[in-house]
Structure 1
Amino acid sequence: MGTHVIKMPDIGEGIAEVELSQWHVKVGDLVVEDQVLADVMTDKAMVDIPSPVHGKVIALGGQPGEVMAVGSILISIEVEGAGNLKESDKPAPVAAKEAPAAPKVEAVVESKPAVTAPRPAAAVCQGPMVAREADERPLASPAVRKHALDLGIQLRLVRGSGPAGRVLHEDLDAYLAQGQSNASAPVAAAYAQRHDEEQIQVIGMRRKIAQRMQEATQRAAHFSYVEEIDVTALEELRSHLNEKHGASRGKLTLLPFLVRALVVALRDFPQMNARYDDEAQVITRLGAVHVGVATQSDVGLMVPVVRHAEARSLWDSAAEISRLATAARNGKASRDELSGSTITLTSLGALGGIVSTPVLNLPEVAIVGVNKIVERPVVVKGQVVIRKMMNLSSSFDHRVVDGMDAALFIQAIRGLLEQPVTLFVE
Structure 2
Amino acid sequence: MVREFKLPDVGEGLTEAEIVDWLVEVGDTVSEDQPVAEVETDKAVVEVPSPVNGTVREILAEAGEMVPVGDVIITFDVEGEESEPVEESADESDAESAVEPIGDEADAGAEAGNGATAEAEPSARGGRVFAAPSARRLARELDVDITTVAGSGPGGRVSEADVRAAAESGGDEGAAEAAEAPKSAVKRVSDAPESKLDSKGDGSAEPATTAPAGGPEPAGREQTLAAPATRRLAEEEGVDLNDVPTDAERDGQAFVTPEHVQQYAAAQQAAQAADAQAVQQEAASAPAADTETTPEGEVERVPYRGIRRTIGKAMENSKYTAPHVTHHDTVVVDDLVDVRARLKPKAEERGIKLTYMPFVVKAIVAALKEYPVLNSQLNEDDEEILVKHYHNIGIAVATDAGLMVPVVKDAGQKDMLTIASDVNELASKARDRSISRSEMQGGTFSITNFGAIGGEYATPIINYPETAILGLGELKQRPVVEDGEVVARWTIPISLSIDHRVIDGADAAQFANTLMEYLGNPELLLLE
> TM-score of the superposition, structure 1-length normalised?
0.69
What's 1:230 paired with?
332
What's 1:266 paired with?
368
Mapped contact 2:376–2:467 kept (Cα < 8 A):
yes
What's 2:74 paired with?
75
Mapped contact 2:405–2:440 kept (Cα < 8 A):
yes
Matches within 5 A, 1:15-414: 15=13, 17-25=14-22, 30-33=27-30, 34=34, 36-41=36-41, 45-51=44-50, 52=52, 53-57=54-58, 59-60=60-61, 64-68=65-69, 70=70, 72-76=71-75, 82-83=82-83, 94-96=126-128, 120-122=276-278, 162-164=285-287, 196-248=298-350, 250-414=352-516
- One-letter amino acid of the counterpart of residue 285, structure 1: V
The Cα of 1:234 is off from its aligned counterpart by 0.9
Greater helix percent: which structure? 2
Structure 1 pair 248–386 and aligned structure 2 pair: CA distance change class (3 A): same
Structure 1 pair 408–47 and aligned structure 2 pair: CA distance change class (3 A): same
- One-letter amino acid of the counterpart of residue 286, structure 1: K
Structure 1 pair 83–352 and aligned structure 2 pair: CA distance change class (3 A): farther
Structure index of larger Rg: 2
- One-letter amino acid of the counterpart of residue 75, structure 1: I
Tell me the number of residue pairs that the alignment of Structure 1 and Structure 2 aligns: 338
- One-letter amino acid of the counterpart of residue 5, structure 1: E
Structure 1 pair 38–308 and aligned structure 2 pair: CA distance change class (3 A): closer
Structure 1 pair 290–264 and aligned structure 2 pair: CA distance change class (3 A): same
Name the CA distance, whole Å, in 2 between partners of 1:58 and 1:417.
55
SS of residue in 1 equivalent to 2:457:
coil
Name the CA distance, whole Å, in 2 between partners of 1:264 and 1:290.
13
What's 1:131 paired with?
none
- One-letter amino acid of the counterpart of residue 20, structure 1: A
Mapped contact 1:27–1:60 kept (Cα < 8 A):
no
The Cα of 1:24 is off from its aligned counterpart by 2.6
Mapped contact 1:263–1:309 kept (Cα < 8 A):
yes
SS of residue in 1 equivalent to 2:301:
coil
Mapped contact 1:296–1:329 kept (Cα < 8 A):
yes
Structure 1 pair 245–6 and aligned structure 2 pair: CA distance change class (3 A): closer
The Cα of 1:366 is off from its aligned counterpart by 0.6
- One-letter amino acid of the counterpart of residue 306, structure 1: V
Mapped contact 2:457–2:495 kept (Cα < 8 A):
yes
Name the CA distance, whole Å, in 2 between partners of 1:74 and 1:164.
21
The Cα of 1:211 is off from its aligned counterpart by 1.5
Name the CA distance, whole Å, in 1 between partners of 2:274 and 2:376.
39
- One-letter amino acid of the counterpart of residue 54, structure 1: T
Query: Which one has more relative contact order, counting CA pairs under 8 Å at least 6 apart?
Result: 1
Mapped contact 2:39–2:48 kept (Cα < 8 A):
yes
Mapped contact 1:19–1:40 kept (Cα < 8 A):
no
RMSD: 3.7
Mapped contact 2:395–2:405 kept (Cα < 8 A):
yes
The Cα of 1:273 is off from its aligned counterpart by 0.8
Name the CA distance, whole Å, in 1 between partners of 2:408 and 2:274.
27
Name the CA distance, whole Å, in 2 between partners of 1:383 and 1:160.
57
The Cα of 1:124 is off from its aligned counterpart by 11
The Cα of 1:227 is off from its aligned counterpart by 0.7
Mapped contact 2:353–2:424 kept (Cα < 8 A):
no
- One-letter amino acid of the counterpart of residue 387, structure 1: R
Name the CA distance, whole Å, in 1 between partners of 2:280 and 2:62.
30
Q: Which runs of 5+ in 2 are unaligned?
A: 86-124, 138-272, 290-295
Name the CA distance, whole Å, in 1 between partners of 2:494 and 2:311.
23
Name the CA distance, whole Å, in 1 between partners of 2:84 and 2:333.
65
The Cα of 1:287 is off from its aligned counterpart by 1.1
Mapped contact 1:356–1:369 kept (Cα < 8 A):
yes
Spell out structure 1 runs of 4+ moving beyond 6 A. 78-81, 98-101
What's 1:138 paired with?
none
CA shift digits 1:166-210 (9 cap, x unpaired): 9xxxxxxxxxxxxxxxxxxxxxxxxxxx96543222222222222
What's 2:8 paired with?
9
Name the CA distance, whole Å, in 2 between partners of 1:322 and 1:206.
23
Structure 1 pair 121–195 and aligned structure 2 pair: CA distance change class (3 A): farther
CA shift digits 1:18-74 (9 cap, x unpaired): 312125359995544235335152x57543224454234363399833433x3x423
Mapped contact 2:37–2:48 kept (Cα < 8 A):
yes
- One-letter amino acid of the counterpart of residue 372, structure 2: P
Structure 1 pair 218–32 and aligned structure 2 pair: CA distance change class (3 A): farther
The Cα of 1:161 is off from its aligned counterpart by 9.5
